[in-house]
Amino acid sequence: MPDVMTSHAKIFVSGHRGLVGSAVVRQLQRQGFTNVVTATRQELDLRDPQAVRQWFKDHRPEFVIHVAGKVGGINANATEPADFIYDNLMIHATVLRASYECDVRKLLYLGSSCIYPRDCPQPIKEEYLLTGPLEATNRAYAVAKIAGLVSCEAYRTQFGCRFISAMPTNLYGPHDNFDLVSSHVLPALIRKFDDARRAQQSTVTVWGTGQPRREFLFVDDLAEACLFLMQNYEGPDTINVGTGEDVMIAELADTVRQIVYPGSEIRYDRTKPDGTPRKLLDVSRLHKLGWAHRTPLMEGIRMTYQWFLEHASQHQRR
């Protein structure tokens, strides 16, 4: 019988307060898993090897869904590269090591679509990893995430650990970071249009030229894919998780405008970077395994905006 997660299995979700971690916990609860363990940043500093080892010894998780990490948008990555590389290298090294040492039965590691080479052919196939130079604006982050991914392979090879990995595209949804400086484009746009609506300002500024193309996956869909892979996938190769469809930033901005503040106009600030011209994942491997996303972009943005409105007062409205 394959060693799958049963409803009472002890499952550690790292980073449960973040966009992805909170969605994974929601999904586990939805699917009837009753023994999910988490640790806040105050309880456990995932960058601290000693603390992580001790926590694993004390709690003995059987399965690990490792989604913690320092993440941020184009500006945060460009201005805090030292923190991005240090935090992520440490977090991945400690969690993987402790999982190996404490005999975790299976672990899922999440990469990110921005760790593929900047100019690789589109849509991006899993095998393009490490075939060319990285995008400069998030190189430090990418190198740390690649180190985590290669670590999974290494633990599989050397110790036979069941460490699998998935490569999600750009994500969005409840519990995202809506801060204007450090966030990714989709929450930033929701926040910008909502701020303009409240202030009755007619123009909203979008960074760059509006020409780059990006793919967006609703985070609850990603969480479902994570559990699907935990239960159904054993291979050494990473698996792209996305929708297989991309949009121009200008189209995205217009969609958010229509939902949040149809009376406004868009202005482009060309002094801000565009970043990589296109990022679209080839999701045929995932589709072949039997999983496809379900939430259309428009619906996902509506749900995210609703969540933002309900939580805006206590959430990053600085």
Q: Which spans of this chain sit near ligand GDP (rule: CB under 6 A)?
A: 73-74, 114, 138, 170, 183-185, 188, 192, 206-208, 212, 214, 249, 272-276
- Work out the burial of residue 313: count CB atoms within 10 Å of its CB; fewer than 13 is exposed, 13-18 middle, 19 or more buried: exposed
Instruction: Closer to ligand GDP by CB, 16 or 214: give it.
Output: 214
β-bridge mates for residue 11, sequence order: 36, 63
Residue type, 315: H
- Work out the burial of residue 8: count CB atoms within 10 Å of its CB; fewer than 13 is exposed, 13-18 middle, 19 or more buried: exposed
**Minimum gap (Å) between residue 32 Cβ and ligand GDP:** 34
141 part of the active site = yes
**Minimum gap (Å) between residue 11 Cβ and ligand GDP:** 30
Contact 88, 136 (CB under 8 A): no
Measured at the CA of 215, the angle between CA 14 and CA 168, to 5 degrees, comes to 25
At a CB cut-off of 8 Å and minimum separation 6, what does 71 contact?
18, 19, 112, 141, 177
Contact 84, 144 (CB under 8 A): yes
Instruction: Closer to ligand GDP by CB, 27 or 276: give it.
Output: 276
Residue 84: which of 74, 73, 96, 71 has the closest Cα?
A: 71
**Minimum gap (Å) between residue 116 Cβ and ligand GDP:** 11
From 100, 141, 261, 305, active-site residue: 141
Residue 243: which of 163, 179, 176, 299 has the closest Cα?
A: 299
**Minimum gap (Å) between residue 206 Cβ and ligand GDP:** 4
Instruction: Closer to ligand GDP by CB, 153 or 274: give it.
Output: 274
**Minimum gap (Å) between residue 285 Cβ and ligand GDP:** 22
How many C-beta neighbours within 10 Å does residue 50 have?
9
Instruction: Closer to ligand GDP by CB, 65 or 186: give it.
Output: 186
Q: Could you give the residue numbers annotated as active site?
A: 141
